[in-house]
């Protein structure tokens, strides 16, 4: 039998969420972010792309601004007012120095203690291949946490180094170690996913398009290892 989840660390004030696309945070992590905002924490969202390649029936020129608006509304629902887009190309985000530099700059600007991101392993729990964008952003983020603390890496940014990241919390993984109870915030997490209306409609019928069912089932499953409470689980990597 799998071990119970540990409670998420709570002795921090500033969080930064970094993912590849609009909607990545809303598939679970946003309910936890809503709970943390309720507890007085501050959060900023940073997205590597605007998700412009995410809807088959809409051109990237139309899709990018649409998904940007949906992401800003999704963030507003859970109490996050600051959303940044780094404008790497959706679908072909590359691991490399430009991405590391952009993420290190975001970390130096916002000076988080907790960084939240999405599963960047090769596969999801069902065995399906993970997006190369997820993989590359996650790997670059882990490296950028170290880059941000070294004043001799990317000095051209003109930003003071930041060594204050204490944990990286990864959502959507099978190796989760910690959880946060979301009974009071799950409905807002669902509403934040539903704010991606055009994207969900583009998915068509399927398990990922039914926001309420997907998120509530996930929260109940996590809760089985967290005292029976509805929860969002993370793998917590100490820095």
- pLDDT, tens digit, 9 for 90 and up, residues 42-61: 999 999 999 999 999 999 99
Q: Kindly report which listed range (29-38, 81-90, 137-146, 211-220) carries the lowest average pLDDT score.
A: 211-220
- pLDDT, tens digit, 9 for 90 and up, residues 27-44: 989 999 999 999 999 999
What mean pLDDT is predicted for residues 185-203?
Answer: 95
Q: How far apart are CA 58 and CA 231, in angstroms?
A: 35
pLDDT score of 205 more than 90? no
pTM above 0.85, yes or no: yes
pLDDT score of 82 more than 90? yes
Q: How far apart are CA 73 and CA 43, in angstroms?
A: 15
3-state SS assignment for residue 153 = coil
What is the chain's length? 239
pLDDT value of residue 209: 65
- Domains of the chain and CATH, by start: 6-238 (3.40.50.10320)
What mean pLDDT is predicted for residues 185-210?
Answer: 88
The two structure tokens encoding residue 136: 């590359």
The two structure tokens encoding residue 59: 């051109």
pLDDT value of residue 1: 64
- 179: which strand partners? 7, 233
What mean pLDDT is predicted for residues 178-189?
Answer: 98
pLDDT value of residue 207: 60
What mean pLDDT is predicted for residues 93-118?
Answer: 98
pLDDT value of residue 125: 85
Alpha carbon 143 to its chain centroid, in Å, reads: 16
Q: How does residue 2 score in pLDDT terms, banded at 50, 70 and 90?
A: confident
Query: Alpha-carbon Rg of the chain, whole angstroms?
Result: 17
Share of the chain above pLDDT 90, in %: 92
Question: Which residues are within 8 A (CB) of 204 and not within 5 positions of it... i.e. 6 or more apart?
Answer: none
- 180: which strand partners? 232
What mean pLDDT is predicted for residues 219-229?
Answer: 97
The two structure tokens encoding residue 60: 């990237």
3-state SS assignment for residue 142 = helix
């Amino acid at each position: 039998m799998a071990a119970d989840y540990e409670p998420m660390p709570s002795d921090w004030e500033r969080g930064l969420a970094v993912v590849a696309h609009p909607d990545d945070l809303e598939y679970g992590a946003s309910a936890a972010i809503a709970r943390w905002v309720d507890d007085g924490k501050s959060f900023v969202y940073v997205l590597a792309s605007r998700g412009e390649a995410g809807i088959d029936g809409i051109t990237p020129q139309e899709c990018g601004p649409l998904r940007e608006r949906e992401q800003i509304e999704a963030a507003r629902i859970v109490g996050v007012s600051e959303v940044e887009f780094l404008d790497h190309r959706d679908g072909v985000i590359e691991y490399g120095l430009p991405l590391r530099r952009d993420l290190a700059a975001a970390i130096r600007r916002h000076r988080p203690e907790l960084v939240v991101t999405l599963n960047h392993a090769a596969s999801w729990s069902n065995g399906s291949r993970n997006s190369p964008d997820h993989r590359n952003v996650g790997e670059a983020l882990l490296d950028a946490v170290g880059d941000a603390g070294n004043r001799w890496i990317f000095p051209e940014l003109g930003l003071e180094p930041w060594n204050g990241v204490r944990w990286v919390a990864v959502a959507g993984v099978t190796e989760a170690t910690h959880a946060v109870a979301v009974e009071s915030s799950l409905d807002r997490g669902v509403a934040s996913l539903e704010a991606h209306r055009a994207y969900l409609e583009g998915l068509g019928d399927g398990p990922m398009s039914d926001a309420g069912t997907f998120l509530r089932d996930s929260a109940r499953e996590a809760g089985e290892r967290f005292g029976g409470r509805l929860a969002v689980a993370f793998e917590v990597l100490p820095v």
